[in-house]
Structure 1
Amino acid sequence: MPRQHLVFETMHAPRSLHLPSVIVICYLLGLHNCVASDKKTSCKVLDGRADCSHLSLSAVPPNLPRDITSLDISHNRLNGIPPVSLTPYPGLRHLDVSHNSITKLDQGLCQTLPLLQTLNMEHNQVYVLKKEDVSHCTNLTWLIMASNKLQLHGEPFSALQLEPGCFTPISGLRTLIMDESNMATQVISKLCSELSATDIDALFLRKMKLVTLTNTTFKALQTTNLTFLDLSYNGMVRIQDGSFRWLSRLQTLVLTDNNIRRLTKDTFQGLKSLKKLQLTKALVKSANLDDFSFQPLSALESLILQKTAVHEITEHTFTGLTSLKELDMSWGIYTSLRHINNQTFVSLAGSPLRKLNLTGTAIKLINPQSFSVLRNLTTLLLDYNFIEQILTGEVFEGLGQVEEIHMSNNHQTVELISTSFVNVPNLKVLTLGKSLKAMNLDPSPFILLPNLTVLDLSNNNIANIKENMLEGLVDLKVLMFQHNNLARLWKSANLGGPVLFLKNTQRLISLQLDSNGLDEIPAEALRGLSDLRELSLSSNLLNSLKDSIFDDLHSLRVLNVQKNLITAVRPQVFKTPMSNLSLLVMDKNPFDCTCESILWFVTWLNNTNMTDVPGLRDQYLCNTPLAYFNHSIMHFDPLSCKDMTPFQTLYILSSTAVIMLIVTAFLLQYQGWRIQFYWNILINRTLGFSDASVEEGREFEYDAYVIHSESDSSWVERRMVPLENDKCRFCLEDRDLVPGMPLLESIVRNMRNSRKILFVVTESLLRDPWCTRFKAHHALHQVIEASRDSVVLVLLQDVHDYKLSRSLYLRRGMLRPSCILDWPVHKDRVPAFHQKLLMALGMTNRLQE
């Protein structure tokens, strides 16, 4: 059998409603009778059933057989069903008058048809249903009144009795709502008896004036699978011990808005499966909460005690809640919470509590280690209290797992010190809005919170902070800093310069700086915030903004700069942030509606279809000039700016020419040598002077010709010669001169027979005229004609580039980085130097420019 849901909920609460065997269906069913394919011309009668539907009748036919038991007169033009018209058919049990224009149910209908069981009046125009209309319908089991404009006057169904087995046809019933039924306790017991044979899962008994629950009220539900029970808004005063012991499968119990005077250790006896208990405004102010009252609730995970009044929380108040994960005591009156100490929550020592809500509980002082027993706590809510103290690290001792601390809107002020959060290293969300005294601390108290993602410092009138206030918050995503006094910190005239406190928060997604009196933004204030999606600067004094302040905000989706003094919206400032916006709020600014100030903005507004701009037509008004005063900026005519086009073109051309001239002069002054060098290489290639490709194909006698000063001979013998082997051979001038050949000719020959020319660069080499003239000139030709890989520099000393250029006619920029090696200072790096040297010597000389 499919699951069924039955709702008995009326607009006017009856004085004594007894569930009848009649099922009243007063909601839209959307049922329609099908019209036969063959058009009918008269009623069809078969086996005691008369079908007179779809005949455009205006009255009940008087000439049908008197013994019919079913009459279908739907889809006609009836304005009413006078009882006298049905007098010929006293045996009717089923009457269908749906889809007509009937305006009322005549009170004599059931007197004329005493056997009537089913009445279908859907899709009519019945406006009112009174008690007298159905008072005689004692055999009625189905009343269908869907798709009417129905109002119930009084208690039309109060005379109908609760019949045994009334739920048998719908035994798959899962949810039953009996709100405002005003049943007596005894009737509820009878209702539970009838529900015992159903699949009932959720039962709503709200606003039924159940002043007392007895230990037998729900006894009949013992065999059901009821998991949800709502008894809220009943004015309940007393719950007898053991009243819920029959509901062993119940998981949620709602007792909101009652007047319970006492909870004992047996009140919740038997609720071994209960996971959520809702007691919001359930207890009177003088209620007694006995020790061990919640002990039977070993499976309870959520306990809601909002707006309750309990004078004393003892060491056994919450004993037994071994599965509790959430405790909500917000907005309650608890004398014990005004001064929290290490005994306040000792009864929760055995609970795996994750969330504790103490919002609005008039807390004044929190002693050290007050929460130390709550080792599993992840969320602590302390908003709207009267806390006035210095937050030392010991206040949060034991909360090593806590991820959220909310302490906003405190009616007093708390003071932070550098170690306030030393015991909560895993904190991710911290709200301190409207709570703090000052924030000018060094080191910052937040430096101990590397996992913090949300920080609220709003409404604290903060005027002085250090530049390192947010240092260490590498994962901070949301910063709420609105309603403070940060104007002086961002002024260029500030002593020591602007305080760039956002430089350590490069992963920010949302930044709120509203109402801070800001009249300027430093050029570097928002640098690096490439992930920022929301920026709010409303209600400040911003006017002339620097061109580059928003250049890094490529990910911005929401920009709020309303209620400032912005007169011009220039592309140099706003083009980057507005390129991907989904929401722009810039209303209530005194816009200057001139070509220079507003043309680009109006053009952007006319062309954008991705950005929502609320209030564009009536909140974005011109302040100047007088012709546009108090008119929408959308009335500005862009065509009036066309005459400026020639001047703009001339300005662009002249500016471009000047910039190119400056750049050219700069290049010639500082990079002329590089241009000349590459020009020589190009000429050699073009004229075919290079024979690198030819030389690459032949065998070289040496891997490198070594050029060094006389004073560096010992270094060469000690560091270079030992590297020689079958695969690596150096040409040394003193050792490898060609016998019988003049010196200059021998040098040229050996250089030509070497794959590379290697300079051992020291100050002595640069002063040696023999090396710096003849040999250096030959090496320069090799670089230009062969390749940039043909010369290798080994720098034994730090030699400035201009000395290399003046002495050896070489610059570092002429050679590839892998061909410039520095002799290491540390001995353990010498093997790495040897490896780099051998790699440089093994590189091809084929042209790679």
Structure 2
Amino acid sequence: MMDLSVLLVLLCCDLTSSRPSLPLTPPPTPPLTPPLTPSCTRVEGFCSDLGLHSVPQDLPRGIHTLDLSRNQLQNLTREPIAFYTGLRHLNLHGNRIHFIQPGLFAGMTQLKMLDLSRNQLNAFAAHRTQIGPLGAVESLDLSGNGLFTGMMEYFLNDSQLLVNLSLSGNSITKISGDAFRGSLSLRSINLHNNVIMEIEDGAFDLLDHLSDLDLSKNSINCITDFNLYNLRNLNLSQNSLEMFLSAPSDELYQLVSLDLSQNKLPLLPLIPRKNKLEYLDLSYNQIQGVNVTGSYSGQIFFLCTCLYQPPSLTKHHNCFHHLKYLDLSFNNFQSLPESLFHTMLSLEVLNVSNNCLTSFSLTRDLLPKVRILNLGENSLQTFQITQTSLPSLEELYLNGNGLTTLGFQTLKSLRLLHLQQNEINICSQKTLEDSKFCVSFESVPSLEYLDLSENKLWRIPSGAFRNTPLTHLDLSQNPGLDLHQDSFSGLENSLERLFFKENNMSAINSDLSSLRNLKYVDLSTNQLTALPAWNRASSIESLNLQNNNLVTLDYGTVAALESSLKTLYVGSNPLSCCSNLPFLNLLKMSNVVVPDIEAVTCVFLEDAEPVNIEKVTEEMCKDLENGSVNVIVVVVVALVLIIALVLLVKCCRSRKRKRSRTYRA
């Protein structure tokens, strides 16, 4: 008789043919193709999260995939797991495994992927027992097992086909020189989130196929002889690096991506002279500038050896010829000399935000392929470029600086301009000739996105954006902003998104209804007492009116918005309940969604408590009107009676005086 516990396991384990679970509906009729032969049938077992204390025994012997993750397994022995010799993928993640019978996986000649992450294998390694051989395993995950220095070798010996290895989330402090001698086919090693402080010489030298190495979030403080020529991706972020030096060599490095972010580098790293580097992240360091003559712990430091080659040699040694992405953000740069960019002919993205730059200038034809330039959150006072610099620039971020003027009109490909938190004034036709104190946004042929929020703008002159095809315009947080009637002249067919948030505006003088493609409008947190008039059918789909002084929404405007409006924010306004019945009908009869409906209240009487607008009906307003009429009638009758009573009293007193008169002789 079958053991009851085994029977329960079999009932819980989901054995499918290439599916994780049984379909809830009948499968579609299969196409007319020849039936699969038994040798081609894939069987998968999914037994995760079942509280199992042992491996099920009666699974099909030909099973290819077995998922036993997040159970209660503690010991792995030959019976029964070694019987499943056809396994290709075995997932044992998140158990309590602290013992594995040596040689357990020797007979699994087809096992390619073995996941032993989040177990207690430090207890196994403490006995200095080899887990191998892992003759066929190509992917091994040992992350989160509490392994420390010297323990990884017990899992890696005799695993010659191993390609992908994860040791993240352990407690390894040192990588020994022979740590990977038993797994020379490794291409990817993940050592993220350990406590690595030392890497012995030659630890990775024998790994000729190694292309991806993740050493992020450790305690490494210097790399002085980087010589992994075949490595393509190296992640050293979140360490304590104060130095990164490549070994002097004329050999071509295959390095494509280098992440040195979140370290303590005081200077730019020494990159191999001959490289294929495309991605370089140096953000969140302590770099103060480009020092091409200083010392680096007694060694002459140069950004790249080609920077100090004679002109005749420089052209033959483009050290950053392939670089496409460079991130220098969150450092302490005071300036950026143009020599830094001399070899960056392929650069597409340059991020120097959150530094201490006071100026940025390009006097030569540099950075021909840069599409995105981020200089935000600096202390820029000037931004100067030549007619031919940055010809491919599409996005320019200058937010959070102190700019008052800006010469960007030569950027013929510019699509996005972010100028939030500056001190920009917009030129009018009268001030256009003297543009030292203002910026013109007219006739910028490709500009679509413009952010002028928080610039202390006080007026938008007539035709300020004429002949500029803006689709997104942000004028928020400019208190006291004054609009001209024709401020948006020229944007009738292009503008789609318009932001006026937190401008302390009491009225919108400009005709927004002329903007035929306007879809999103934010007028929140102002002092508006009325909506701008719409003289024609609107195209607006989303309208934000929160935090204003709106009492009544004009019927004509509501009717114009009704045909297109999909989303409306109108909370925190002193709305009158019975003066907005057309608006109430709009909410009830249309498909308009009011996400802040719980905060939309109105009042019946001036001193009454606000009520949620969803509770208001026309009948309530009619009753209120009838009640008001009755009150008026009662008040009038009461006044008439009081007046009559007063007259009657006066009349009675007059007669009484006449009767009480006496005469003396």
Give the TM-score category using the shorter length.
Answer: 0.5 to 0.7
Partner Cα distance (2:339, 2:71) in 1 = 69
Per-residue deviation, 1:473: 0.5
**1:138-169 deviations in whole A, cap 9, x for unaligned?**
97769xxxxxxxxxxx98776x7537545857
Instruction: Assess, with a 3 A threshold, how the Cα gap between structure 1 residues 233 and 588 changes in structure 2: closer, same or farther.
Output: same
For 2:457, the equivalent position in structure 1 comes to: 518
Counting matched residue pairs gives 490
Matching residue of 1:713: none
The equivalent position to 2:288 in structure 1, one of 364, 377, 390, is 364
- Please give the alpha-carbon distance, in whole angstroms, between the structure 1 residues aligned to 2:325 and 2:177: 34
Q: Which runs of 5+ in 2 are unaligned?
A: 1-8, 25-46, 61-69, 83-93, 293-301, 308-318, 535-552, 581-598, 604-611, 619-665
Matched, 1:416 2:372: no
Structure 2 residue 182 is matched with structure 1 residue 235: no
Aligned amino acid, residue 512 of structure 1: D
Per-residue CA distance 1:621-661 (angstroms, 9 max, x = gap):
36999988995799799x9xxxxxxxxxxxxxxxxxxxxxx
- Asked if 1 retains the 8 angstrom alpha-carbon contact of 2:463 and 2:489, the reply is no
Distance 1:326 1:31, change over 3 A: closer
Aligned to 2:192: 256
The match for 1:384 is 330
Which residue of 2 is the match for residue 587 of structure 1?
A: 524
Deviations 1:6-28 (A, max 9, x none): xxxxxxxxxxxxxxxxx999887
2:268 counterpart of 1:328: no
Tell me how far 1:408 sits from its aligned partner: 0.5
Match of residue 61 from structure 1: none
Which residue pairs with 1:439 in the alignment?
Answer: 382
Q: 1:139 to 1:266 in 2, by over 3 A?
A: closer
CA distance in 1, matches of 2:237, 2:455: 36
TM-superposed deviation, 1:502: 2.2
State the 1:258 CA deviation. Answer: 1.7
**C-alpha distance in 2, partners of 1:623/1:545?**
28
Amino acid corresponding to residue 393 of structure 1 in structure 2: E
Report if aligned partners of 2:577, 2:613 keep a CA contact under 8 Å in 1: no
**Corresponding position of 1:535:** 473
The counterpart of 2:571, out of the listed 618, 634, 638, is: 618
Counterparts of 2:261 and 2:51 in 1: how far apart (Å)?
Answer: 52
Partner of 1:171: 110
Q: Read off the aligned partner of 2:366 and give its amino acid letter.
A: N
What is the alpha-carbon distance in structure 2 between the residues aligned to residue 274 and residue 462 of structure 1? 48
Q: CA deviation at 1:546?
A: 2.2
Shift of 1:591: 2.3
| 1:181 corresponding residue in structure 2 | 120
**Contact 1:237 1:258 (C-alpha < 8 Å) held by counterparts:** yes
Matching residue of 1:350: 274
Contact 1:500–1:525, Cα closer than 8 Å, also in 2: no
Partner residue, 2:213 = 277
Give the residue type in structure 1 aligned to 2:263: G
Selected match of 1:398 from 318, 343, 347: 343
Q: CA deviation at 1:568?
A: 4.5
Show structure 1 runs of 5+ residues with no match. Answer: 1-22, 35-97, 111-115, 121-127, 143-153, 640-849
State the AA in 2 paired with 1:302: N
Match of residue 483, structure 1, among 410, 417, 421: 421
Match for 2:125: what amino acid? T
- How much has 1:395 moved relative to structure 2? 3.5
Range 309-318 or range 393-402, more displaced = 309-318
Distance 1:527 1:188 in 2: 77
Distance 1:577 1:630 in 2: 28
1:67-100 Cα deviation digits (max 9, x unpaired): xxxxxxxxxxxxxxxxxxxxxxxxxxxxxxx9xx
Q: Secondary structure at the match of 2:158?
A: helix
Shift of the 360–451 alpha-carbon distance from structure 1 to 2, 3 Å rule, reads same
Give a deviation string over 1:589-638, Cα, whole Å, max 9, x none. Answer: 322237958635433443225x555xx1426x36999988995799799x
Q: Any idea what the Cα deviations from partners look like across 1:147-194, whole Å, max 9, x if unmatched? A: xxxxxxx98776x7537545857934435242233333378974442x
SS of corresponding position for 2:280: strand
- 1:471 matched to 2:373? The reply is no
1:175-214 matches, cutoff 5 A: 175-183=114-122, 184-185=124-125, 190-193=130-133, 195-196=134-135, 198=136, 200-213=137-150
**SS of alignment partner, residue 571 of structure 2:** helix
| d(CA) in 1 for partners of 2:131, 2:451 | 57
Contact 1:490–1:500 (8 Å) recurs in 2: no
Does the CA contact (< 8 Å) of 2:464 and 2:487 recur in 1? no
What residue number does 1:221 align with?
159
Whole-angstrom CA distance in 2 between matches of 1:418 and 1:461? 19
| Partners of 1:560 and 1:510 in 2: CA distance | 12
Find the structure with the greater CA-based Rg.
1
Matched residue of 1:220: which SS? coil
Equivalent position amino acid for 1:585 in 2 = D
Partner of 2:201: 265
**Alpha-carbon distance in structure 2 between the residues aligned to 1:524 and 1:623:** 35
In 2, Cα distance between equivalents of 1:534 and 1:167 = 63
**Is the partner of 1:591 in helix, strand or coil?**
coil
Question: What is the alpha-carbon distance in structure 1 between the residues aligned to residue 357 and residue 575 of structure 2?
Answer: 42
| Residues 405 and 312 of structure 1, relative CA distance in 2, 3 Å threshold | same
For residue 558 of structure 2, what is the amino acid of its counterpart?
A: V
In the superposition, the TM-score normalised over structure 1's length comes to 0.50
Could you give the per-residue CA deviations for residues 353-400 of structure 1, whole angstroms, max 9, x where no partner exists?
Answer: 1222111211112136845433332222111111113x4423422223
- In 2: Cα distance, 1:547 partner to 1:33 partner: 61
Q: Structure 2 vs 1, CA of residues 264 and 317 (structure 1 numbering), >3 Å: closer, same or farther?
A: farther
Q: Tell me the secondary structure at the aligned position of residue 455 of structure 1.
A: strand
Aligned equivalent of 1:840: none
Superposition pairs of residues 668-707 of structure 1, within 5 angstroms: none
Post-superposition offset of 1:32: 7.6
SS of the aligned residue for 1:334 comes to coil
- Counterpart for residue 389 of structure 2: 448
Between 354-363 and 164-173, report the one with greater CA deviation. Answer: 164-173
Distance across 2 between alignment mates of 1:191 and 1:334: 40
CA–CA distance in 2 between the matches of 1:447 and 1:535?
A: 27
Percent of aligned positions with the same letter in both sequences? Answer: 20
Task: State the distance in 2 between where 1:31 and 1:378 align.
Answer: 44
Q: Describe how 1:575-724 pairs up with structure 2 within 5 A.
A: 575-577=513-515, 579=517, 581=519, 583-593=520-530, 599=554, 601-609=557-565, 612-613=567-568, 616-618=569-571, 621=573
Distance 1:319 1:480 in 2: 43
Letter in 2 for 1:415: S
Cα distance in 2, alignment partners of residues 520 and 459 from structure 1: 21
Change in CA separation of 1:440 and 1:508 when aligned onto 2, cut-off 3 Å: closer
Q: 1:31 to 1:325 in 2, by over 3 A?
A: closer
> Measured at CA, do residues 440 and 260 of structure 1 come closer, stay the same or move farther in structure 2, by a change above 3 Å?
closer
8 A contact 2:347–2:369 mirrored in 1: yes
Name the CA shift for 1:161/1:331 in 2 (closer, same or farther; >3 Å).
closer
CA pair 306-174 structure 1, distance change in 2 beyond 3 A: same
CA contact under 8 A between 2:261 and 2:283: conserved in structure 1?
yes
